[in-house]
Amino acid sequence: MKYVRQFGIILAVTFIGEVLKLCIPLPIPASIYGLVIMLGLMMTKIVPVKSVKDAGSFLIEIMSLMFIPAGVGLMISWNEISDIWLPLVLIIIITTVVVMVVTGRVTQRVISQDNKKELGNQKRR
């Protein structure tokens, strides 16, 4: 029953994201609306992390299965994309590297700032 409630919370937030996508004329995917809403709810503790943690962990564990339909879609549409496969592969490789570098740099900066705050707090004691 715990999992049903947790999935229900996640689905409700996802549904609200879908509704916002229909109501707000911006080119933002509904999933992004849902993620921002869930982040806001969790940061304000309206939805505590523990109330969706188990279902979220399960979804992360099966995430690789969620890519199967996308792979099948690529195989089905191979005739349309076969002419441009090389530029697509290059774009995928370049953007993956850029995302990894930017994510690493941002993470390093956040860790550095946390360490500075921690040192500042220790000096005050």
Residues with Cβ within 8 Å of 20's Cβ and at least 6 positions away in sequence, in order, are 30, 33, 37
pLDDT at 74: 87
Specify the number of domains making up the chain. Answer: 2
Q: Look at residue 20 and tell me if it is in a domain.
A: yes
Does any domain span residue 51? Answer: yes
3 with 46, same domain? yes
Q: At what angle do helices 2-23 and 30-43 cross, to 10 degrees?
A: 120
Does residue 108 sit within a domain?
yes
Q: What's the domain range around 51?
A: 1-67
Tell me the pLDDT of the chain (125 aa) as tens digits: 899 999 999 999 999 999 999 999 899 999 999 999 999 999 999 999 999 999 999 999 999 999 999 889 989 998 988 899 899 999 999 999 999 999 999 999 999 998 888 877 777 76
Q: What is the pLDDT of residue 41?
A: 96
* The two structure tokens encoding residue 65: 């299965």
Q: Are residues 8 and 38 in the same domain?
A: yes
Q: What SS3 class is residue 25?
A: coil
